[in-house]
Amino acid sequence: AQSVTQLGSHVSVSEGALVLLRCNYSSSVPPYLFWYVQYPNQGLQLLLKYTTGATLVKGINGFEAEFKKSETSFHLTKPSAHMSDAAEYFCAVRRGNTGNQFYFGTGTSLTVIP
Amino acid sequence: NAGVTQTPKFQVLKTGQSMTLQCAQDMNHNSMYWYRQDPGMGLRLIYYSASEGTTDKGEVPNGYNVSRLNKREFSLRLESAAPSQTSVYFCASRVSGTDTQYFGPGTRLTVL
Protein backbone atom coordinates (compact mmCIF):
# COMPACT_ATOMS: atom_id res chain seq x y z
CA ALA A 1 0.00 0.00 0.00
CA GLN A 2 1.06 3.54 -0.66
CA SER A 3 0.70 6.32 1.89
CA VAL A 4 2.30 9.49 3.11
CA THR A 5 2.61 10.98 6.58
CA GLN A 6 3.09 14.69 7.08
CA LEU A 7 4.51 15.58 10.47
CA GLY A 8 3.04 18.75 11.86
CA SER A 9 -0.35 20.00 10.75
CA HIS A 10 0.71 23.59 11.45
CA VAL A 11 4.11 25.18 11.02
CA SER A 12 4.98 28.81 11.75
CA VAL A 13 8.17 30.51 10.62
CA SER A 14 9.39 34.07 10.59
CA GLU A 15 9.79 35.87 7.32
CA GLY A 16 13.28 35.14 6.02
CA ALA A 17 13.70 31.95 8.06
CA LEU A 18 14.14 28.43 6.76
CA VAL A 19 11.00 26.53 5.84
CA LEU A 20 11.03 22.77 6.51
CA LEU A 21 7.91 20.69 5.94
CA ARG A 22 8.23 16.99 6.62
CA CYS A 23 6.89 14.09 4.61
CA ASN A 24 7.51 10.37 5.03
CA TYR A 25 6.14 7.77 2.69
CA SER A 26 5.51 4.07 2.57
CA SER A 27 5.44 2.29 -0.74
CA SER A 28 5.82 -1.26 -1.91
CA VAL A 29 7.46 -0.14 -5.13
CA PRO A 30 9.72 2.80 -6.01
CA PRO A 31 7.49 5.78 -5.40
CA TYR A 32 6.79 8.85 -7.40
CA LEU A 33 6.56 11.72 -4.91
CA PHE A 34 4.98 15.13 -5.14
CA TRP A 35 4.46 18.34 -3.22
CA TYR A 36 1.40 20.47 -3.92
CA VAL A 37 0.48 23.90 -2.58
CA GLN A 38 -3.02 25.18 -1.97
CA TYR A 39 -3.71 28.86 -1.49
CA PRO A 40 -6.94 29.87 0.27
CA ASN A 41 -10.09 29.03 -1.68
CA GLN A 42 -8.13 27.61 -4.60
CA GLY A 43 -7.33 24.22 -6.05
CA LEU A 44 -3.98 22.50 -5.65
CA GLN A 45 -0.95 23.45 -7.70
CA LEU A 46 2.10 21.25 -8.27
CA LEU A 47 5.24 22.59 -6.56
CA LEU A 48 7.68 19.83 -7.51
CA LYS A 49 7.95 16.12 -8.13
CA TYR A 50 10.41 13.26 -7.89
CA THR A 51 10.14 10.40 -10.32
CA THR A 52 13.58 9.02 -11.13
CA GLY A 53 17.10 10.38 -11.38
CA ALA A 54 18.44 13.20 -9.25
CA THR A 55 17.22 12.94 -5.69
CA LEU A 56 17.29 16.67 -5.06
CA VAL A 57 14.50 18.28 -7.01
CA LYS A 58 13.80 21.95 -7.43
CA GLY A 59 10.36 23.41 -7.85
CA ILE A 60 8.64 26.70 -8.28
CA ASN A 61 8.93 29.67 -5.92
CA GLY A 62 12.34 28.60 -4.59
CA PHE A 63 11.19 25.34 -3.01
CA GLU A 64 13.14 22.12 -3.21
CA ALA A 65 12.87 18.61 -1.81
CA GLU A 66 15.22 15.69 -1.40
CA PHE A 67 14.24 12.06 -1.86
CA LYS A 68 15.98 9.95 0.78
CA LYS A 69 15.25 6.29 0.24
CA SER A 70 17.04 5.17 3.42
CA GLU A 71 14.84 7.45 5.50
CA THR A 72 11.71 7.06 3.33
CA SER A 73 11.44 10.82 3.39
CA PHE A 74 10.73 13.64 0.95
CA HIS A 75 10.95 16.80 3.02
CA LEU A 76 10.19 20.19 1.47
CA THR A 77 12.50 23.13 2.16
CA LYS A 78 12.95 26.77 1.24
CA PRO A 79 15.93 28.77 2.51
CA SER A 80 14.07 32.01 3.17
CA ALA A 81 10.33 32.25 3.80
CA HIS A 82 8.27 34.94 2.16
CA MET A 83 4.87 36.17 3.25
CA SER A 84 3.41 34.86 0.01
CA ASP A 85 4.43 31.30 1.01
CA ALA A 86 1.62 31.13 3.56
CA ALA A 87 -0.58 28.28 2.32
CA GLU A 88 -1.46 24.63 2.82
CA TYR A 89 1.09 22.11 1.56
CA PHE A 90 0.36 18.52 0.63
CA CYS A 91 2.73 15.65 0.03
CA ALA A 92 1.51 12.92 -2.32
CA VAL A 93 2.72 9.57 -3.64
CA ARG A 94 1.96 7.49 -6.71
CA ARG A 95 2.84 3.87 -7.29
CA GLY A 96 5.75 3.98 -9.70
CA ASN A 97 4.97 4.87 -13.28
CA THR A 98 2.00 2.55 -13.71
CA GLY A 99 -0.36 3.53 -10.95
CA ASN A 100 -3.29 5.80 -11.64
CA GLN A 101 -4.03 6.64 -8.03
CA PHE A 102 -2.40 9.40 -6.03
CA TYR A 103 -2.38 9.28 -2.23
CA PHE A 104 -2.22 12.57 -0.35
CA GLY A 105 -1.03 13.42 3.12
CA THR A 106 -3.19 15.31 5.56
CA GLY A 107 -1.51 18.62 4.80
CA THR A 108 0.61 21.17 6.64
CA SER A 109 -0.57 24.73 7.06
CA LEU A 110 2.33 27.16 6.83
CA THR A 111 2.09 30.53 8.57
CA VAL A 112 4.74 33.18 7.90
CA ILE A 113 5.18 35.73 10.65
CA PRO A 114 6.33 39.21 9.58
CA ASN B 1 -7.39 27.53 -22.07
CA ALA B 2 -9.70 27.49 -19.06
CA GLY B 3 -7.95 24.41 -17.62
CA VAL B 4 -10.22 22.46 -15.27
CA THR B 5 -13.59 23.99 -14.50
CA GLN B 6 -16.10 22.90 -11.89
CA THR B 7 -19.72 23.82 -11.36
CA PRO B 8 -21.27 24.84 -9.09
CA LYS B 9 -18.83 26.63 -6.78
CA PHE B 10 -21.13 26.36 -3.78
CA GLN B 11 -24.14 24.18 -3.01
CA VAL B 12 -26.35 23.55 -0.01
CA LEU B 13 -28.46 20.40 0.02
CA LYS B 14 -30.88 18.82 2.43
CA THR B 15 -30.36 15.25 3.54
CA GLY B 16 -31.71 12.89 0.92
CA GLN B 17 -31.52 15.28 -2.00
CA SER B 18 -29.52 14.43 -5.08
CA MET B 19 -27.21 16.47 -7.20
CA THR B 20 -24.49 16.22 -9.82
CA LEU B 21 -21.18 18.02 -9.68
CA GLN B 22 -19.81 18.87 -13.08
CA CYS B 23 -16.17 18.91 -14.18
CA ALA B 24 -14.71 19.71 -17.57
CA GLN B 25 -11.17 20.09 -18.88
CA ASP B 26 -10.01 21.55 -22.17
CA MET B 27 -6.45 20.19 -22.11
CA ASN B 28 -7.21 16.91 -23.92
CA HIS B 29 -6.20 14.92 -20.83
CA ASN B 30 -6.94 11.22 -20.66
CA SER B 31 -7.25 10.77 -16.90
CA MET B 32 -9.68 12.55 -14.61
CA TYR B 33 -10.20 12.38 -10.85
CA TRP B 34 -12.65 13.31 -8.14
CA TYR B 35 -11.36 14.03 -4.64
CA ARG B 36 -12.92 15.22 -1.46
CA GLN B 37 -11.06 17.40 1.02
CA ASP B 38 -11.94 17.37 4.70
CA PRO B 39 -10.18 19.16 7.57
CA GLY B 40 -7.34 17.10 8.97
CA MET B 41 -7.77 14.38 6.35
CA GLY B 42 -6.16 15.82 3.28
CA LEU B 43 -7.49 14.80 -0.11
CA ARG B 44 -9.08 11.41 -0.59
CA LEU B 45 -9.81 9.90 -3.96
CA ILE B 46 -13.45 9.12 -4.63
CA TYR B 47 -13.35 7.87 -8.24
CA TYR B 48 -11.10 8.21 -11.20
CA SER B 49 -11.25 7.63 -14.91
CA ALA B 50 -8.04 6.54 -16.59
CA SER B 51 -9.49 7.05 -20.05
CA GLU B 52 -12.75 7.79 -21.79
CA GLY B 53 -15.20 4.98 -21.14
CA THR B 54 -13.56 3.67 -17.95
CA THR B 55 -14.08 4.50 -14.30
CA ASP B 56 -12.64 2.99 -11.13
CA LYS B 57 -13.24 3.34 -7.43
CA GLY B 58 -10.82 5.19 -5.21
CA GLU B 59 -10.50 5.20 -1.43
CA VAL B 60 -13.98 6.54 -0.54
CA PRO B 61 -16.51 5.69 -3.29
CA ASN B 62 -19.52 4.84 -1.13
CA GLY B 63 -22.47 7.15 -1.72
CA TYR B 64 -21.17 8.43 -5.05
CA ASN B 65 -21.46 7.58 -8.72
CA VAL B 66 -19.53 8.97 -11.66
CA SER B 67 -19.93 9.31 -15.39
CA ARG B 68 -17.18 9.93 -17.91
CA LEU B 69 -19.43 11.56 -20.44
CA ASN B 70 -16.68 12.12 -23.00
CA LYS B 71 -13.00 12.93 -22.93
CA ARG B 72 -13.65 16.43 -21.56
CA GLU B 73 -16.27 15.82 -18.90
CA PHE B 74 -16.37 13.77 -15.70
CA SER B 75 -19.35 14.20 -13.41
CA LEU B 76 -19.89 13.13 -9.81
CA ARG B 77 -23.37 12.29 -8.57
CA LEU B 78 -24.71 12.10 -5.06
CA GLU B 79 -27.95 10.10 -5.23
CA SER B 80 -29.06 10.68 -1.64
CA ALA B 81 -26.93 13.25 0.11
CA ALA B 82 -25.90 12.75 3.73
CA PRO B 83 -24.33 15.21 6.20
CA SER B 84 -21.14 13.11 6.08
CA GLN B 85 -20.76 14.22 2.47
CA THR B 86 -20.31 17.83 3.49
CA SER B 87 -16.92 18.60 2.03
CA VAL B 88 -14.97 20.45 -0.62
CA TYR B 89 -14.84 18.47 -3.85
CA PHE B 90 -12.00 18.81 -6.32
CA CYS B 91 -11.77 17.55 -9.84
CA ALA B 92 -8.38 17.01 -11.45
CA SER B 93 -7.04 15.84 -14.79
CA ARG B 94 -3.78 14.40 -16.08
CA VAL B 95 -2.23 13.31 -19.33
CA SER B 96 -1.61 9.57 -19.07
CA GLY B 97 2.07 8.85 -18.80
CA THR B 98 2.81 12.11 -17.06
CA ASP B 99 2.70 12.90 -13.37
CA THR B 100 1.20 16.32 -13.11
CA GLN B 101 -2.41 16.65 -12.07
CA TYR B 102 -4.24 19.88 -12.77
CA PHE B 103 -6.90 20.80 -10.26
CA GLY B 104 -10.12 22.72 -10.59
CA PRO B 105 -11.11 25.43 -8.11
CA GLY B 106 -13.38 23.14 -6.10
CA THR B 107 -17.05 22.86 -5.13
CA ARG B 108 -17.98 23.56 -1.54
CA LEU B 109 -20.92 21.32 -0.62
CA THR B 110 -22.92 21.50 2.59
CA VAL B 111 -25.52 18.87 3.42
CA LEU B 112 -27.93 19.83 6.17
Confidence of residue B39 (pLDDT cuts 50, 70, 90): confident
Over 80: is that where the pLDDT of A95 sits? Answer: no
Over residues B76-94, mean pLDDT: 96
Distance, in Å, from the CA atom of B5 to the CA atom of B26, rounded to the nearest integer, reads: 9
Over residues A57-71, mean pLDDT: 94
Confidence of residue A100 (pLDDT cuts 50, 70, 90): confident
- Close Cβ partners of B27 (under 8 Å, ≥ 6 residues apart): B1, B3, B4, B93, B95, B102
pLDDT digits over B5-27, tens only?
999 999 999 999 999 999 999 99
Over 90: is that where the pLDDT of B77 sits? Answer: yes
Q: Does B27 touch chain A (CB under 8 A)?
A: no
Q: What is the mean pLDDT of chain B?
A: 93
Residue B83, preceding peptide bond in cis (omega within 30° of 0): no
Min Cα distance B39 → chain A (Å) is 8
Min Cα distance B61 → chain A (Å) is 13
- Close Cβ partners of B79 (under 8 Å, ≥ 6 residues apart): B18, B63, B65
Query: A92: closest CA among A55, A41, A40, A45?
Result: A45
Confidence of residue A12 (pLDDT cuts 50, 70, 90): very high
Confidence of residue A1 (pLDDT cuts 50, 70, 90): low
Residues A100, B31: C-beta atoms closer than 8 Å: yes
Which residue in chain B has the smallest CA separation from A50? B99
The pLDDT of residue A94: 85
Q: Which residues of B touch A46 (CB under 8 A)?
A: 100-101
The pLDDT of residue A98: 61
Over residues B57-62, mean pLDDT: 93
The pLDDT of residue B1: 67
| pLDDT > 90 in chain A, percent | 69
pLDDT digits over A20-59, tens only?
999 999 877 778 899 999 998 888 999 999 988 888 999 9
Over residues A84-110, mean pLDDT: 87
The pLDDT of residue A51: 86
Over 90: is that where the pLDDT of B108 sits? Answer: yes
